[in-house]
Amino acid sequence: MTGFLQSTPSGGTARGRVANIMGIIMGSGVKQTAAAVDKIAGTIISFPDKSLSIPMWYGKFATTFEAETGIKLTSKDLKEIGTGESKYLGDKYKAAIAEATRKADQTATMVGTSKNSFDTVIKNQYRQTGKGGGGMLNAYRAANKFMANFSLFEYATARFAVGALQRRGDISRTQALGILAGVGMRMTMYPILYTVLSQAFDDELFGTDTEEDESDIEDIITRQVVGTMLTLLTRKSMGNIPNLVPSMLIEQLNEQALEGLRNGEDYNPYNHSIVYNQLSLDNLEDKGLTKTAVGIMAGPFGPIIKTLERMTDLSFRSVRNKTEESREKNQKELTDRMVLELLGNSGLVPFYKDIRRIVIKNMFEGQRKSEQRRKEEKEYKEYLEFLKENDPGAYREELRTKANDSFEGEYFEDNNFDPSEWE
């Protein structure tokens, strides 16, 4: 039996009418579906870390145990220790086992981070009782740690390596430099690899046109390297809330003064950001302080709140907009996209983020191409203006070439071409 469609022990508890109805719905496959989707996502996300951290754990355990006792453990010895049947689990080797376990856990956490309540960031742990416990503070902790686990553990790893460089520690200076290089490489390459793989996924499997990023790969890598250094130097061990102002100021600096990192292109926060930033002046101007603050403090509930807001707006537009075309457009987005958003944020759609990305690309493909065309026309107009002022001969030739391309079968010779007719 899989447990699908099965009731739980709490099902016999007396409850109100609404709770009873919700219990029936959740017990009719919804909860089990969400659990299955979560299992799929968790397995895919954790597989790379497990494939590295598990061998590293065993290797560090064995080498530390050998350093403490002079005994070289075999694969059979490690399996017996795991099952509790090893001769090394007695009092004689208790201290060596404890030390080997501590260092192995530390190494595994460096490689793959951790969500273990006993081996994670203490200040972000929920507390129901005692000092600092309670609903409001726990809500703050939820928003403060949302999507911050990776950055916090990377900073802790980098700080450990820097400490080993400054003074003698558990590792050599060579190992410390290797750890620092690994932290920088991982923080730099993860976003790049995600972008490359997601674009390949969309293009090859679904034939979705990818919006071209005109940045060279060197510019992208440079942005990520600069962002990694600034994140480690400014964010440190801060959560999302204390980091709001520093990250906003960094992105303001990026927009105003770091055109060289994007080859002189106009700043686009989605393509050209260098740090994780939840607060911007544009957001404050468009949404206002209250709405922006609610979105940030919602933490893990932020996506579903945005989905409900969007659904409400589309529902009104699909009824009240003046033109039939506009009403149909909003109705189509409401049925095609928002149903997916609602089910996905409820944990009921596997590969939700990938499917959502493809749906949005297809839905706004025409708008994206129109914007790209307007951008190209603007750039071409600016180019002509530059030629007109700085190189009249090249300006005349460019207009003549354009005129010849426009009229098939008709060719304008240089001696009978009047540029003023084509400006």
Residue with more model confidence, 202 or 238? 238
Q: What is the mean pLDDT of residues 364-393?
A: 76
* CB of 95 closer than 8 Å to CB of 86: no
Per-residue pLDDT tens for 15-60?
Answer: 565 556 556 655 667 778 888 888 888 888 778 778 888 888 889 8
**Which of 99-113, 361-375, 404-418 bottoms out in mean pLDDT, i.e. has the lowest?**
404-418
d(CA 349, CA 142): 24
Amino acid at 221: I
Rounded average pLDDT over 387-401: 75
Read off the pLDDT of residues 346-372 as tens digits, 9 standing for 90 and up: 888 888 888 888 888 777 776 667 777
HSE (side-chain half, CA atoms, 13 Å) at 170: 14
Predicted pLDDT of residue 120: 67
Quickly state the pLDDT bin for 195 (edges 50, 70, 90): confident
29 closest CA partner among 356, 346, 355: 346
**Which is higher by pLDDT, 372 or 289?**
289
Name, in order, each residue with C-beta under 8 angstroms of 8's C-beta and a sequence gap of 6 or more: 27
Q: How many CB atoms lie within 10 A of CB 171?
A: 18
Give Dmax over CA atoms of the chain in angstroms: 103
Q: Considering the chain, what is the average pLDDT of its residues?
A: 79
Six token digits for residue 278: 């939840």
What pLDDT shows up at residue 18? Answer: 53
The reported pLDDT for the residue numbered 101 is 92
| Contact by Cβ (8 Å): 246, 234 | yes
Residue spans of the domains in the chain: they are 19-111, 148-284, 368-421
Res 178 pLDDT > 50 = yes
Tens digits of per-residue pLDDT, 85-107? 888 998 899 999 999 999 998 88
The confidence band for 4, taking pLDDT boundaries of 50, 70 and 90, is very low
d(CA 79, CA 178): 30
Comparing 113 with 176, the larger pLDDT belongs to 176
Q: Is the pLDDT of residue 405 over 70?
A: no
Higher pLDDT among residues 376 and 279, named by residue: 279
Q: What is the pLDDT of residue 349?
A: 83
